[in-house]
Amino acid sequence: MKKINLIMIIIASIFATLSFSQTQIDYALGRVNKTNNKLVFLWNEPINEYEISFTFNNPIENMFCKSPQQIIDGSLINANIESAQQGRMYDAIILGESARDMAIIWKDKSKDNAIARVKKNEGKYVFIDCEPVTNYDISGKYNVSGAGQKILLGTCPSYQEKIDKLIKKANKEKLNFDAVIFGSSQNDLVIKFK
For the segment 97-153, what is each residue's pLDDT rounded down to a tens digit? 667 899 999 999 999 999 999 999 999 999 998 999 999 999 999 887 655 555 556
Sheet holding 38-42, edge to edge: 34-35, 38-42, 92-95, 101-106, 50-56
- In-domain check, residue 111: no
- In-domain check, residue 117: no
Which pLDDT does position 190 carry in this prediction?
Answer: 94
Which pLDDT does position 5 carry in this prediction?
Answer: 54
Residues recorded for the chain: 194
Residue type, 63: M
Q: What is the pTM of this model?
A: 0.80
Which pLDDT does position 24 carry in this prediction?
Answer: 85
Domain count, the chain: 2
Which pLDDT does position 13 carry in this prediction?
Answer: 54
34 lies in the same domain as 102: yes
- In-domain check, residue 21: no
80 lies in the same domain as 133: no
- In-domain check, residue 20: no
Cα(84)–Cα(68) distance, rounded to whole angstroms? 24
Kindly give the parts of the chain with pLDDT less than 70.
1-23, 97-98, 145-154, 184
- In-domain check, residue 9: no
Which pLDDT does position 102 carry in this prediction?
Answer: 96
88 lies in the same domain as 33: yes
95 lies in the same domain as 148: no
- Print the domain residue range for 163: 122-193
Which pLDDT does position 52 carry in this prediction?
Answer: 97
- In-domain check, residue 116: no
Cα(130)–Cα(119) distance, rounded to whole angstroms? 12
